[in-house]
Amino acid sequence: SRCCEVERGLARSTMLPMVSGELQHNNILLRWRSSLWKLVWFQLLIYTSIYLAISMIYRFTLPTELAIKFEKLILWVRINSLQLPLTFLLGFYVSLVVKRWWEQYVKLPWPDEVATYLKVAITKNPKKKESGDSEKDDDEYDHSKRVRRTIVQYCLL
């Protein structure tokens, strides 16, 4: 009987997330610094409040004559909003966003080009006379190699 209790408890604990769905873990949306909800909660609250105020005024306080005029206003807005489709306007917006993204992408430096220039620009000092100390030359080469590598790493960030 204890085995059945454990299996039922396991089944309940594994089914709970499926039953409650994604609404169980909403607190992570509020903790995330760049959360969409944190960015739009105030505008959403204002929009919802204005919508509810207009709805309550229309349903409970407007006399019949004004309610009919309000309905005519709504129909006029619907008819006139069809003249300029939203997808047409969104097409301009999307093309502008893609154009800006592409401009930024093109301006990014390519690391291989930077690495080539660094190889030419940062080398061991050619003016120094060749000393017989190969250990010192290796240290200087390693230092310039580390500097080049560090600059390329910063370019990749």
d(CA 30, CA 27): 5
**Start-end of H helices in the chain:** 2-20, 27-31, 36-56, 64-81, 86-107, 111-121, 134-156
> What percent of the chain is modeled with pLDDT above 70?
69
For 75-133, the pLDDT digits (tens) are: 998 888 777 777 888 889 899 999 999 999 888 767 888 888 888 888 776 555 555 56
* DSSP three-state, residue 129: coil
Query: Does 141 have pLDDT greater than 50?
Result: yes
More confident residue, 23 or 5: 23
Torsion of CA 26, 27, 32, 35, to 10 degrees: 40
- In this prediction, residue 156 carries a pLDDT of 82
For 144-156, the pLDDT digits (tens) are: 888 889 988 888 8
- Within 10 A of 115 (CB to CB), how many other CB atoms are there? 14
24, two tokens: 């169980």
pTM > 0.85: yes or no: no
Highest mean pLDDT among 32-36, 42-46, 85-89, 134-138: 42-46
